[in-house]
Structure 1
Amino acid sequence: MIINERVKGLAEQNERVVKQHFAFFGQGNLPDALELFAEDVDFQSPVTKNPPEEISWAKPRYSKKDVALFFKELSEKIQVKKMEAMFFTCQNDRVIVEGRNGGVVKATGRGYEHDWVMVFTLQDEKICRARHYYDTADIVAAFRD
């Protein structure tokens, strides 16, 4: 029973960290959102082996500094209009989040919206692995005139 309580407590703690990450991001507070990542994080958004050229930010990142560059490159090309984290599922060191976001491609003024799933792995209250799964087709279409 004590082990179950400990596992439940770990899952709840990890969920709080991920929810805080989304809260910081939603407030436009990127520095504090980045502080919740481990120094040597394994980060992929979107997870794809063949990224479309329009989505130049789609490459693996392996440090907190790389993740900051991801957000910089993304924000140079996309204006995020909404980011909704709707459902959280937590077990041990993993937090799975289902959500939806939408934005506008700055070069074309065209909008997009899509559903996504993110899987976070945490260690010592830091995000050490992040995977962001979404269909890139809607964003690619918004890049085209």
Structure 2
Amino acid sequence: MDTPMEVVKRAYQAFGRNDIEAVLECIAPTVDWRVVGPASLPFPTQCNTRQEVGQFFKAVAADGEITVFEPREFIDANEHIVVLGFVRVILSKTGKPFESEWVHVCTVKDGLLTRWIEFFDTAARLTA
């Protein structure tokens, strides 16, 4: 069985090549998937199933074109992995760029992601 770090890195590599099906294969059927921020974000801020996470990715893609997605550091704490990174998006609604550093907190159990929590500059996103 893959280590938690290997599972997380595989999911991020799949996202980086826009292979959402491969990302979803890394996620448990029941999951705690959250974006810490207001409900006014144009994508779900809480998902509880792999299928809901699939809808989350569709909404994120509709929100804008991700031009830079950089997981920069992976911090290993056994079943918990913290990922630090950066994103730049051209927003669909306004055509304006938005960028932010982000933090993702992941938990892997039995070879699958069971928790993913994202923190980023939601205020800057909502005003872009």
Q: Match of 1:87, as an amino acid? A: E
Question: Structure 2, unaligned stretches of length 5 or more?
Answer: none
Q: Indicate yes or no: 2:14 matched with 1:24.
A: yes
**Distance in 2 between residues matched to 1:85 and 1:77, nearest whole Å:** 20
**1:133 Cα shift?**
0.7
**1:56 Cα shift?**
2.6
Question: Structure 1, unaligned stretches of length 5 or more?
Answer: 1-9
Alignment of 1:1-145 (within 5 A): 13-45=3-35, 47-48=36-37, 50-51=38-39, 53=40, 55-142=41-128
**Distance in 1 between residues matched to 2:68 and 2:24, nearest whole Å:** 19
Q: Match of 1:89, as an amino acid? A: I
Q: Match of 2:78, as an amino acid? A: N
Report if aligned partners of 2:31, 2:50 keep a CA contact under 8 Å in 1: yes
Deviations 1:65-117 (A, max 9, x none): 00000011111121111110011111121000000001011111100110010
TM-score (norm 1): 0.83
**1:139 Cα shift?**
1.3
Report if aligned partners of 2:42, 2:63 keep a CA contact under 8 Å in 1: no
**Distance in 2 between residues matched to 1:106 and 1:56, nearest whole Å:** 11
**Distance in 1 between residues matched to 2:17 and 2:121, nearest whole Å:** 25
Cα RMSD over matched residues? 1.5
Larger Rg: 1
Deviations 1:8-28 (A, max 9, x none): xx9x81111111111100111
State the percentage of identical aligned residues: 26
Q: Match of 2:19, as an amino acid? A: N
Tell me which stretches of 4 or more aligned residues in structure 1 moved more than 4 Å: none
**Distance in 1 between residues matched to 2:96 and 2:44, nearest whole Å:** 20
Q: Match of 1:13, as an amino acid? A: T
**Distance in 2 between residues matched to 1:112 and 1:89, nearest whole Å:** 26
Q: Match of 2:123, as an amino acid? A: A
